[in-house]
Structure 1
């Protein structure tokens, strides 16, 4: 039973990293015998964890497993995450749109939890425990805008290690106006050129707000929706207020601890 479970997880992991695989390709990538692979894929399909496209007959995963990284949520952040989860689940129940939770860890920003799996809406799944682009994601921009100057410079110093000087120059040219806009409206949009952390365009838009405790950004939460549903302005007019209200309630909850 344990071996079958391990192999099933291995298959899901391979499918999650590909755009679709044939039976032979799954068997080759995992090293699992073809007959066993076929049996496991059949079972995973019956449980709706995997689907087989009728056109190309390739298998694709309906779920995304956590990315294998060295990221570990600090024990001190666990109570924070539990509190945020309570509030964002209630938020999704109310507005239907899913919310992702982001926590800064070691000068990087990670997507650590999401309500996409519990919404009744069909939204692309996200990969938990994934580092997100702090310059282009809505959550990253909210984090930078509401962090103290010293924290912001620390985050940026970590970012610049992986970017050329031209990117730094472009950021500092555009940041003042973007910073002012985020503070005025109370939330951040994702960059138009940001398509999520998956290889393919996730087809989503997002608005994000910080979770503040005293003067520190402890986390960020967002609301995501398909681009075809509404423009950023229309969606923000309808949902930004309740997102900000949820963040304020979380901050109040933290102060009572």
Structure 2
């Protein structure tokens, strides 16, 4: 059923269609896109045709659609997350070669964490996140590592978005969130055992850019086996410092 698209611009309607896709459902039928976008089926069909002509979506022989390669082409020209990903990847590889578990890079995207890079081994711990996937910032060690240095406005937006329990350990209230953020700000790292999956622990530290601003978080997902995270934290902090220096150099070079 249409969500009331009257008064929206063509751009807003096109964005509805593009946002219908996500990392878990990269292929959608016309009916599925129509339902997710909340647009009339005739409008969806017409806009898909236009997006297809520009290479922003692709139609497959089985009549499903996926996001087009041109989106990646355009995004790869942008600064920010994609430049950060390129700068950080060598250091993620270094961390993963020592820890031998999922090593990830993430940024804040509204009230969520967006994972933009990962290096893994086949026998790594259970991890419910994927590259290009999102998770609420309060549930993720990466999100907590960044929120600990975010503005109160950003933290309040996370609180206002509500809390959903992934496990019995997931943060469920504003008071709990703020207590955790205060501890993480003091420690310089976030360790969240069993917050997304009971068998996994997320360990993350912030990555800084120019003028001390937090740009991202680097971290690992390890088994929730009670082992001390201290050795991993030290490895992550060194990697974060290296990424920060490389990021500052890269940004200075851009200017």
TM over 0.5: yes
Distance 1:138 1:102 in 2: 10
Distance 1:178 1:106 in 2: 20
Is residue 240 from structure 1 mapped to residue 237 from structure 2 by the alignment? no
What secondary structure, in the 3-state scheme, does the structure 2 residue paired with 1:99 have? strand
Distance 1:139 1:87 in 2: 16
Distance 1:180-1:104 versus aligned 2 partners, 3 A rule: closer
Distance 1:193-1:207 versus aligned 2 partners, 3 A rule: closer
1:207 aligned partner: 203
Distance 1:107 1:124 in 2: 24
Which residue among 86, 92, 97 is the counterpart of 1:88? 92
Higher deviation after alignment, 155-164 or 78-87: 155-164
Structure 2 gaps of 5+ residues are 1-23, 27-65, 165-171, 251-255
Report 1:168-183 matches (<5 A).
171-183=173-185
Preserved contact between residue 138 and residue 208 of structure 1 (Cα < 8 Å):
yes
Report 1:35-184 matches (<5 A).
75-77=78-80, 78-116=82-120, 119=121, 121-124=123-126, 126-147=129-150, 149=151, 152-154=152-154, 156-157=156-157, 160-162=160-162, 171-184=173-186
What secondary structure, in the 3-state scheme, does the structure 1 residue paired with 2:137 have? coil
Preserved contact between residue 108 and residue 155 of structure 1 (Cα < 8 Å):
no
Count of residues in Structure 1 that have an aligned counterpart in Structure 2:
173
What secondary structure, in the 3-state scheme, does the structure 1 residue paired with 2:139 have? coil
Shift of 1:93: 1.3
1:222 aligned partner: 219
Report 1:2-41 matches (<5 A).
none
CA RMSD of aligned residues (A): 3.2
1:57 aligned partner: none
Distance 1:225-1:153 versus aligned 2 partners, 3 A rule: same
Structure 1 gaps of 5+ residues are 1-12, 17-66, 165-169, 196-200
